[in-house]
Amino acid sequence: MAEPWMEAPAVAGALAIGRGVALFVGRRVCTPTHHHRAVQLVVSAGSSFDLQTDGPPRSEDVALIPSGSPHALRASSAVAVLLVESDGPRGRRIDALARGPLVDAQRRALRSVQLPAPAPADLARAVRAWMQALDPQSPTRAPSQEVLRVLSVVERAAARGEAMGLVDVARAVSLSPTRVTHRVSRELGLPYRALVRWTRIRFALRARFGGSSLTEAALGAGFADASHLSRTFRATLGISPSWLLERVAFVELEIDRPIQAASKRIP
């Protein structure tokens, strides 16, 4: 029988993606050794999962994996995987936490969050709860009107596949580029360039689940081509969109509220 780490990559569940955060909840995960920019939290529903980092596989029920750390994961029962952008003040704090051992109180806080059902409201609540357990300083208030205007311009540009240069966006919302970067970082917890990257990924996934080809989805969200989207997706989340999108339901969310759910049935 093949070793668990030699099995073909497999997933089954729901993927939710928002601003600088993604959450997978499902009943099976098997990945080869990989790494990515995001900090990764893995929580099991009841039974443990197998995690391999820099040594032999070990059994865990909660694990926090630093940005860029090679790892392989195998879970044959219900599990949640939360991925958080490592750039920006929020990501740096969580990444620093991941580089040391979790204390018992932290493990209990993370385990106390019930694995959500694959519905927008439940996924959004779980994201908020895990983010607060990982980073009590994480922004919880709704964005200011200034940042909402920035988000509106950025998302309109992503929907049209247009450039989202900081200077142009700042001009469109009548703010200085410095003020845009400061407010986005303070209120959303991630830098402007990361906001643009995650927005493009979100809109590409939205288009792909809406029936567009991967190339159409990439171009429509402002990527140079499908390869550019795949490289960005893999660097950010550690996986290729081509096989993931055939195996999961997709739910788009914001941290504070669900905004859209796909009708695709979970395998």
101's CB contacts (< 8 A; 6+ apart) are none
- Decide if pLDDT at 263 tops 50: no
Going by their DSSP bridges, the two strands 72-75 and 49-52 should be labelled as antiparallel
Ranking 52-56, 65-69, 108-112 by mean pLDDT, the lowest is: 52-56
pLDDT at residue 265, rounded to an integer? 34
**Quick one: fold of 145-235?**
Arc Repressor Mutant, subunit A (1.10.10)
Distance (Å, whole) CA 125 – CA 207: 25
User: For 223-241, how does the pLDDT look when each residue is reduced to its tens digit (9 = 90+)?
Assistant: 999 999 999 999 998 888 8
Q: Specify whether the CB–CB gap between 6 and 208 falls below 8 A.
A: no
pLDDT at residue 201, rounded to an integer? 94
More confident residue, 140 or 221: 221
Under the banding of pLDDT at 50, 70 and 90, the label for residue 112 is: very high
**Average pLDDT in the chain:** 86
Under the banding of pLDDT at 50, 70 and 90, the label for residue 27 is: confident
pLDDT at residue 264, rounded to an integer? 40
Q: What is the mean pLDDT of residues 202-210?
A: 90
Domain parsing of the chain, residue ranges? 4-134, 145-235
Q: Specify whether the CB–CB gap between 207 and 216 falls below 8 A.
A: yes
pLDDT at residue 10, rounded to an integer? 57
More confident residue, 14 or 260: 14
Tokens 């900081």 belong to residue: 166
Question: What HEC string does the chain produce?
Answer: CCCHHHCCCEEEEEEEECCCEEEEEEEEEECCCECCCCEEEEEECCCCEEEECCCCCEEECEEEECCCCCEEEEECCCEEEEEECCCHHHHHHHHHHHCCCCCHHHHHHHHCCCCCCCCHHHHHHHHHHHHHHHCCCCCCCCCCHHHHHHHHHHHHHHHHCCCCCHHHHHHHCCCCHHHHHHHHHHHHCCCHHHHHHHHHHHHHHHHHHCCCCHHHHHHHCCCCCHHHHHHHHHHHHCCCHHHHCCCEEEEEECCCCEEEECCCCCC
Name the β-bridge partners of 10. 30
Q: What is the mean pLDDT of residues 77-90?
A: 93
pLDDT at residue 1, rounded to an integer? 32
Q: Is 124 exposed, middle or buried (0-12, 13-18, 19+ CB in 10 A)?
A: buried
Tell me yes or no: is domain 4-134 CATH 2.40.37.10: no
User: For 156-200, how does the pLDDT look when each residue is reduced to its tens digit (9 = 90+)?
Assistant: 999 888 888 999 999 999 999 999 999 999 999 999 999 999 999
pLDDT at residue 262, rounded to an integer? 44
- Decide if pLDDT at 81 tops 50: yes
Percent of the chain's residues with pLDDT above 70 = 90
Name the β-bridge partners of 22. 17, 83
- Decide if pLDDT at 255 tops 80: no
